Amino acid sequence: MSQPSRAAAEHLPLPDSYEGLFIQARSLAQSSLVPDAIAAYQRLIQKLGGLSDKIRSRRPELADLHIQALAELIDLLGWERRFAEAVEYQKALLDLDADPKRIAFWRRRLASLRIQKGETESGLADLRALAEETPDDPWNWLSLGEETRLAGLLVESLAAFDRAVAAAGQVQEEKAKAEALTSAYYRRFLVFKEMARWDDAVKAWEEAAALQPDEVAETLPDLYRPLTDAGLYSMARTYVDRDANSLRAGLQRGLLDLMTGKPVDAMQGWRAVAALDPFGFDSGQEAWMEAVLRVGDPQPVLDWLDDLLSGYGSTRILILGGMAWAMSGKTETAGALLQRAVDLLRRERPPKSKLDSADWRLLTELVPYTEQRAALKPYFAVIETVWEQPAR
């Protein structure tokens, strides 16, 4: 058994080689040692940038390694919200990569990084120019539509997505056409949802689902939850009934029952969800957690919390895990998990510095103790009212 291992080792790059340094940097990133990974990528990129023309011509594969290292470094800098540095490295990548198939992608990425850096108008102007330069490329319009949506320019965003639909319709390759059209229709749904144009939102979602039903079905909660919040209970229930995931659908049916004056039915539905095995589903573990907490006993969530975080870790799981600890009286542990959730939200687009007020309302339903709620309140975006303010 030792001989194959030696043979395999002979094919591994030397640790001090360019390829070896790249493997070390990527390994650090995969181990979540992000600052160390960034430093390792920067050292490698500096070495590759100093290569002579003679070495470059003798080893052309190093150009691809340079491009890959830059791309992965930019991702890490973006995750760390070091956008000024990311912009400079993206400019260097654009200068380095002459592949016409990738240039538009790099330009879109540079514009997005400039927007996140705070240069919103300049970044949007770059995207508008790129879209007009090649109006038959749906991905340029999709990028413009997404960035304007995030900036709150919903009318322009919708117009860009309409252009994306038109451009995608001209794509010859069927798989690429379906992917671009699905993306455009789904993003039109997001814009209509923000506009509270519910009939248009449902239509756009259905258009996306018709093209890629399995993929879009995973976004059903993004449709029936806001419909529920808008008070469109019958329409929401129609889409809940289409969700094959028993965890998600069961939780939402309970919420709909509660909102339509049937609390007993709601509790029965949540108990049924709580009795299911959350690890028997590919997704929906957050729904199982919430159903368990609504039943009133946080212990099943606490028993499986480490496994849920390691296997399905998400902001929502952190929030619900924090609520479970709060229900158990462990306010400090709850706060630690809620802070981890806030740290992740700061990296989202647009970034948030507090948990949603809807989550605060859920916490107040689950945790009866005023002192605990007061200790955890700073983690949430809560608007004080006359009734909530303490007496003076």
Give the three-state DSSP class for 190: helix
- Mean of the per-residue pLDDT values for the chain? 93
- DSSP letter for each residue of 65-129: HHHHHHHHHHHHHHHTT-HHHHHHHHHHHHHH---HHHHHHHHHHHHHHHHHHT-HHHHHHHHHH
Q: pLDDT value at position 90?
A: 97
The full set of domains in the chain, from first to last, is: 218-280 (1.25.40), 296-392 (no CATH)
Instruction: Report the alpha-carbon distance of residue 373 to residue 14 in Å, rounded.
Output: 56
Is 70 exceeded by the pLDDT of residue 5?
Answer: no
At 192, the amino acid letter reads F
Phi, psi of 355 (to 5 degrees): -75, 155
Phi, psi of 170 (to 5 degrees): -95, -5
Give the three-state DSSP class for 380: strand
Q: CA neighbours within 13 Å on the CB side: how many for 238?
A: 8
CA distances for 48 relative to 54, 55, 69, 269, angstroms? 13, 10, 10, 60
Mean pLDDT, residues 318-345 taken together: 96
- Which residue has 């229930």 as its token pair? 237
Omega before residue 350 within 30° of 0, cis: yes
Q: pLDDT value at position 390?
A: 38
Integer Rg of the chain from CA: 25
- Write out the two tokens for 325: 């600890």
Is 60 exceeded by the pLDDT of residue 384?
Answer: no
Q: pLDDT value at position 388?
A: 44
Is 60 exceeded by the pLDDT of residue 227?
Answer: yes
Mean pLDDT, residues 114-127 taken together: 97
Q: What angle do CA 360, 298, 294 make, to 5 degrees?
A: 55
Residue 295 CB coordination number (10 Å): 17
What does the chain come to in residues? Answer: 392
Q: What is the pLDDT of residues 46-103, one digit of tens each?
A: 999 999 989 988 999 999 999 999 999 999 999 999 999 999 999 999 999 988 889 9
Q: What is the pLDDT of residues 232-269, one digit of tens each?
A: 999 999 999 999 999 999 999 999 999 999 999 999 99
Instruction: Report the alpha-carbon distance of residue 361 to residue 380 in Å, rounded.
Output: 10
- Write out the two tokens for 90: 């993206």
Is 70 exceeded by the pLDDT of residue 355?
Answer: yes
- Write out the two tokens for 177: 């056409």
Q: CA neighbours within 13 Å on the CB side: how many for 204?
A: 22
Query: Buried b / exposed e across 108-142, counting CB within 10 Å, b at 16+?
Result: bbbbbbbbbbebbeebbebbbebbeeeeebbbbbb
Q: pLDDT value at position 300?
A: 97
Mean pLDDT, residues 204-219 taken together: 97
Q: pLDDT value at position 41?
A: 97
